[in-house]
Amino acid sequence: MLVAATSLLGACATGPKVEIPQLSVPDTITVSAPAFDDGQPLPASDTCFGEGAFPRIEWSTLPDRTSSVAVVVYDPDAEGGPYVHRLTTNLVPSAGQLPDAATPKGAVEYETSAGKPGWTPPCPPKDSGVHHYVFWVLALDRPTRIPPETAQTQNVLLNVTESAFAQGSITATVDSSA
């Protein structure tokens, strides 16, 4: 179901360059966020200009055979290529949400472009224009079993996308000139 890897992720801080794979799986997962509508600004409190809180992300309409859920958050507009802000796997499908920056029981956080696991709040450079933050939810046919202490971001992304059979997303924006 993997079509091709097209977007390069810049090292933007300390993290390695990786590719965000394009998927040819149905876009059937409904993704929403109480704090913003699709294509609208992310609240300042969820960026480095505020507390840097993670905005609650909710999902529904998962296929019945979903074994695990992954959430990947990335900025495709970052200088040098997209920047991964969060890479969380093994989320329980029935939870229906990733409520905050804390790692839910049983879930696994992997290294991001910041060089560490967990949520890295958006912090686009001043006057770099409008940045889009994609909150990508993937239905997986199996849990991700890569140990986080030895995982490379690229390997995790490939593993997750190879086991994905449905997807959905919501996008928020941050205007760096504001």
109-125 residue pLDDT tens? 999 999 999 999 999 99
Average pLDDT score over residue span 28-47:
97
Helices (H) and strands (E) in the chain, counts: 1, 11
Residue 153's φ and ψ, nearest 5 degrees, are -50, -45
In this predicted structure, what is the pLDDT of residue 178?
63
The stretches of the chain forming alpha helices (DSSP H) are: 153-162
Residue 84's φ and ψ, nearest 5 degrees, are -85, 120
What residue spans define the domains of the chain?
A: 2-175
- DSSP symbol at 114: T
- DSSP symbol at 29: -
Which is the CATH superfamily of the domain at 2-175? PEBP-like (3.90.280.10)
Average pLDDT score over residue span 53-72:
97
pLDDT at residue 2 is higher than 50: no
